[in-house]
Amino acid sequence: MAILGASRDRAKFGNKSVRAHLRAGFRVFPVNPNESEIEGIPSSPSLAELPEPVERVSVYLPPAVALAKLPEIAAVGAREVWFNPGAADAAVLAEAKRLGIPAIAGCSIVDLGLSPSDFP
């Protein structure tokens, strides 16, 4: 699974998601063009440069940035794409639907049965 907007800052949700998905047993690919590694895992600069296909993408980007990344997200062909709180707004979700992205507005960490507060 890919985390778009992954962060080295352990206080940010883009980092908490990396740790949560690892704990849940996922093979995690952080995506951040400004980082070479996150939580000891090599980071890809874009979804297009992932080392293998992914079935799940979790988005931690501001809506304007998420909107611009939608074509890249669509090209990955993931089975589910989570637009976490702060990334999902009406325009993002409407365009995602138009592009055929299987969008889910919600917290991907909570979907795992975990809480962001589990990852201080």
Place of tokens 């440069």: 49
pTM: 0.94
Please say whether the dihedral angle defined by the alpha carbons of residues 84, 113, 41 and 73, taken in this order, is positive or negative: negative
**Structure tokens given for 71:** 């074509």
Residue 44 and residue 30: Cα distance in Å, rounded?
6
**What are the residue boundaries of the structural domains of the chain, listed by start?**
2-118
Q: Which CATH architecture has domain 2-118?
A: 3-Layer(aba) Sandwich (3.40)
Q: What is the pLDDT of residues 29-55, one digit of tens each?
A: 999 999 999 999 999 999 999 999 999
**Structure tokens given for 4:** 């778009």
Residue type, 26: F
Contact of 103 with 96, CB cutoff 8 Å = yes
Mean pLDDT computed over every residue of the chain: 97
Q: What is the pLDDT of residues 67-80, one digit of tens each?
A: 999 999 999 999 99
Predicted pLDDT at 81: 98
Predicted pLDDT at 26: 97
Predicted pLDDT at 97: 97
Query: What does the pLDDT average to over 17-34?
Result: 98
